[in-house]
A and B are shown apart, each in its own frame.
Chain A
Amino acid sequence: MSAPSHAAAAPLAAGLTRDELIAALAPFGASVDPADRWDLTLLVPRAQLRAALTHLRDDARLRCDTLLDIVGIDYLSYPNWTGPRFAVVYLLKSTACRHRVRLKVLVEEDDAALPSVHDLWLIADWHERETWDQYGIVFQGHPNLKRLLNHHEFTGHPLRKDYPCQKRQKLSANDPMLDQLTARLRQRGWTVLDGTAEVRP
């Protein structure tokens, strides 16, 4: 089998090479992740995370304008692992320069907290809520760190390896989500007269 023709034909428009990306983030203490495969994964210290992400977004050569995802990892029971229990990976893409880069931060179990980046990319709001919901990692400075996928009466974080996969939790009543609804209405210039209770049919 030969490679598809468009792969060779498409030139990387001013995209940074792998070595250039590594060099650009070296001032933030970034090093290549030992588990690096496909594209580029860099390990950054937690203290430098926000600065590194801001640089990736704003630098004229990097221009990572899209945050594709924020992913949690639980290394509990991972073979031959001695590092911190959790990791969070930020997947970035530059639609202008067509390079991708991933930043990985290791997070201790006792101090599972990271600075929020919801002000850098709007989509980080929901990604951080999901990571909090599934892994219990707190994002400091997040405006509304509620569960995203699981219901509001859920206790625990189901993607942690020590959560029993088949432990089911019933929900008695839905969350009417009035906090988000009223906030969105006010943002659009509406005046909310009474948003304190759900109207039941």
Chain B
Amino acid sequence: MAYTPVPAQPRVPEVNLGDAFVTTTVDAVVNWGRRNSLWPFPFGTACCAIEFMGVVSSVFDVSRFGAELVRFSPRQADLLIIAGTVTYKQAPVLRRIYDQMCEPKWVISAGACATSGGFYDCYCTVPGIDEIIPVDIYIAGCPPRPEAFLEAIVQLQGKIGQERLRDRRAVGAAPVVAGAGA
């Protein structure tokens, strides 16, 4: 049977397709999914964690922003919320939890203690968790109001919306190449 090439079709302008198609970029679609389904891991060590309970509960209701699915395993979370004082004795634990989270992952430092050590200006307190792990958003307050938590999540969503897959990939130690493993 002889091969008969399909004749080239004339290109149809998108405006003629109505609502059947939406054109966008991969970044926009992926970021839309990521920023609206953040799964927080609360690393709560002090009173800021009590405030975070208010954020999750019904009055302030963080699920309005898609971040209500609190996970207590770092492997199931992509948003690490450090709410409270971190001591040097705890620091390796926090670092290991951060390392166990899968990319992409983001960090919110909630309150004065996590951000700067707060008023614990002494030998045992880490003066800001950015000594240990990278931080995306800092929240001021001692403890912050729930509105401040929500503002941080909204700001983080804006930040995630700016990300490009190419940039994220470059941060990691080694790029993931499909089929490269044994």
* Other-chain residue from B89, B91, B123 in contact with A167 (beta carbon distance below 8 A): B123
Residues of A close to B124: CB separation below 8 A: 149-150, 158, 168
Please list 12 pairs of residues, one from A and one from B, whose beta carbons are closer than 8 Å in the complex, sorted by A's number: A149-B124, A151-B88, A163-B123, A164-B123, A165-B123, A167-B123, A168-B126, A170-B88, A171-B89, A171-B91, A172-B92, A174-B92
Query: Quick check: B89 and A158 within 8 Å, CB to CB?
Result: no
| B77-128 interface (Cβ within 8 A of A) | 88-89, 91-93, 100, 121-127
The chain A residue sitting closest to B74, CB to CB, is A201
Residues of B close to A173: CB separation below 8 A: 92
The chain A residue sitting closest to B75, CB to CB, is A201
Q: What is the size category of the interface that chain B forms with chain A?
A: 10 to 19
CA separation between A130 and B26, bound complex, in Å?
57
Residues of A close to B123: CB separation below 8 A: 158, 163-169
Query: Quick check: A151 and B89 within 8 Å, CB to CB?
Result: yes
Shortest Cβ-Cβ A-B pairs, 9 listed: A151-B89, A158-B123, A174-B92, A171-B88, A173-B92, A167-B123, A165-B122, A168-B123, A171-B92
Query: Quick check: A166 and B91 within 8 Å, CB to CB?
Result: no
Count of inter-chain pairs, beta carbons less than 8 A: 36
The chain A residue sitting closest to B92, CB to CB, is A174
The chain A residue sitting closest to B132, CB to CB, is A170
Q: How far is the CB of B64 from chain A (nearest CB, A)?
A: 34
Residues of A close to B122: CB separation below 8 A: 165-166
Residues of B close to A170: CB separation below 8 A: 88, 91
Other CB < 8 Å A-B pairs besides A158-B123, A168-B126, 5 of them? Answer: A150-B89, A158-B124, A164-B123, A172-B92, A174-B89
Query: Quick check: A166 and B88 within 8 Å, CB to CB?
Result: no
CA separation between A170 and B127, bound complex, in Å?
11
Query: Which of A149, A150, A168, A170 has the most chain B CB atoms inside 10 A of its CB?
Result: A168
The chain B residue sitting closest to A156, CB to CB, is B123
Query: Quick check: B88 and A169 within 8 Å, CB to CB?
Result: yes
* Other-chain residue from B92, B93, B100, B121 in contact with A166 (beta carbon distance below 8 A): B121
CA separation between A172 and B125, bound complex, in Å?
15
CA separation between A81 and B88, bound complex, in Å?
35
Residues of B close to A171: CB separation below 8 A: 88-89, 91-92
The chain A residue sitting closest to B125, CB to CB, is A168
The chain B residue sitting closest to A172, CB to CB, is B92
